Structure 1
């Protein structure tokens, strides 16, 4: 119940922030820009989002097949895709949910398939690292194209984005190196965090106290890293996952390009590739999906770097977030409802049970 209240409060604050931003810009001017939307161009962005999540789910499926060979053949189909989207739904609606993305996705996938949770978490962690690398690669490529094709001087805002990009690359690279090579340190940090949880939450919950017991946490840690190593050992699958990840990011960024083109204010795709990943990484607003802060920052960047009027930039960002965020929430919510309501294994016909006299219960019932 408390988690649900936090989600509802987060969305309320986020929508209030978005509404305040629209009010400042001018609702009539924004609506005037939205009135001229070209539907076919705009619809292409929704199809690109569906294709993007298919690519990302395929990247995870291929790595999971290498981590847990016995379960790998069972992972796939609508059941798996829905479970993946269910995990993505949790990422989008929980405040700061992207920080726990692999946990949400791996839990949903392990619950709906035959994949063990530790194997799913290890594969999801590798995919998350690959996804971050893919987004940074696209951002770097977009930055290179923008610098090569730009004739004007570097503005202070663009310089700030460059600094943010550099800081993000260093920080993420350091975190990945820490997870991969300093495992003893990571284990000590995990055990200390578990100790804090055991001393606080464990006082009120026997289940949490047992789950955070040092021996159990250490065993889970070892199982996780064993699966993590198996995922990285299959270089072929890692390379294929990287291809699917890059393709997924390229598709996921397309809605911003199609949204602005749909209102007749095209934004260079290279600039999209650079700006969106950087803003996504440096956005620290603790609200679902970064709502409010991300829209304001993106509109400001478009105004400063592209030269659009603020109402046009706001309209384009609104259309972009409708296809890039709210559509994902809709798909994830439907997937979550489906996997929650679905009967996992329907029971077969009941076999007749024998009565003491040797007759079956079925025949006895019939005789009555």
Structure 2
């Protein structure tokens, strides 16, 4: 397949963004998050936070922003490698724009990161010649590849903390969540693969009542889509060398996505070590399940709790300042870049 654009790529993204913006939940989510962030800063002390930010070395802030972009681009490269296994050839400079646009859509949606794969696959299928099943298989595979370094780095940081001293009570819940995910997600993925016939029966059972009420959906068409999806996964699994190559970019992506917190610490002169950051970032990501856009307020609160709990030498005001700088680089800056990418995807169609 080639990388020539399907004419509906921009329309698909535009429609998807309109749907997500039009629910009213987006605005409400940002308002709630804004209030919670305000309360977080108030508790820490406005003057302490502002004083810390005023003394920051903003060269490190822009380095943190660049690190985030490199991390996301590396994940986009891993995605490209997986697509190539399915004979879907897309130029990297084109795919990375699509990836940033899809990331933007997920970042503005409450719980977007928890269920954005179908939307990303839809945009990809409309922006390239890939069919939806191949697109979804590539997205799911890339996400699973990204989970391995996620858990590895978290385990490395957690081991480091346990060797140094006992884990603070306020960090135990997030650590336990990481352990549950480390075993639970692979188990669910394996069960979905091992018992795919059962999964298909369940999906078809859910679809049947709807199919009987409309001519636009049939049980047979859904069955064919599920079969094509699993066939695509089998083709990907048959190329372990390519998957290993993609995994290298997944690890690279996570390193550069975690580094902005280290750079935020450097900008404020805080003792946030690299190994410590490799635990804090994955642990705080669990708070991204907060029902606000991009996990706003939830991630920030988790970061402050973890930083203060794991590094007692860092005062709360400085921890909040470091958190705000990190989230500027890893969230707000990505929103700007992703928003521009979304406009580009819409315009090029």
TM-score normalized with structure 2 length: 0.89
CA distance in structure 1 between the aligned counterparts of 2:199 and 2:105, rounded to whole angstroms: 25
- Which one of the candidate residues 278, 288, 292 is aligned to 1:287? 292
User: Per-residue CA shift, 1:248-288, capped at 9, x if unaligned?
Assistant: 00100010110111011131111111122123135531111
Change (3 A) 1:77 1:128: closer
Q: Counterpart in 1 of 2:105?
A: 90
The alignment yields a C-alpha RMSD, in angstroms, of 1.9
Moved more, 182-191 or 155-164: 155-164
Q: Counterpart in 2 of 1:322?
A: 328
Q: How big is the shift at 1:313?
A: 0.4
Alignment of 1:51-200 (within 5 A): 51-67=70-86, 69=87, 71-72=88-89, 75-148=90-163, 150=164, 152-195=165-208, 198=210
Instruction: Please say which structure displays the higher CA radius of gyration.
Output: 1
Q: How many residues align?
A: 329
CA distance in structure 2 between the aligned counterparts of 1:304 and 1:129, rounded to whole angstroms: 30
Any stretches of 5+ residues in structure 2 without a counterpart? 1-17
CA distance in structure 2 between the aligned counterparts of 1:153 and 1:286, rounded to whole angstroms: 31
Whether 1:12 and 2:31 are equivalent positions in the alignment is: yes
Specify the SS of the correspondent of 1:266. Answer: coil
Q: Counterpart in 2 of 1:210?
A: 216
Q: Is contact 1:56-1:244 (8 Å) kept?
A: yes
Q: Counterpart in 2 of 1:36?
A: 55
Q: How big is the shift at 1:82?
A: 1.0
Q: How big is the shift at 1:26?
A: 2.0
User: Per-residue CA shift, 1:212-232, capped at 9, x if unaligned?
Assistant: x21111111011111111111
Specify the SS of the correspondent of 1:210. Answer: coil
Change (3 A) 1:282 1:315: closer
Q: How big is the shift at 1:122?
A: 0.4
CA distance in structure 1 between the aligned counterparts of 2:310 and 2:208, rounded to whole angstroms: 49
Q: How big is the shift at 1:28?
A: 1.9
**Greater relative contact order (Cα < 8 A, sep 6+):** 2
Whether 1:313 and 2:319 are equivalent positions in the alignment is: yes
Moved more, 317-326 or 7-16: 7-16
Moved more, 293-302 or 185-194: 185-194
Whether 1:336 and 2:349 are equivalent positions in the alignment is: no
Q: Counterpart in 1 of 2:44?
A: 25
Q: How big is the shift at 1:108?
A: 2.0
CA distance in structure 1 between the aligned counterparts of 2:30 and 2:109, rounded to whole angstroms: 9
Runs of 4 or more consecutive aligned structure 1 residues displaced over 4 Å after TM superposition: none
Specify the SS of the correspondent of 1:53. Answer: helix
Any stretches of 5+ residues in structure 1 without a counterpart? 345-368
Specify the SS of the correspondent of 1:289. Answer: coil
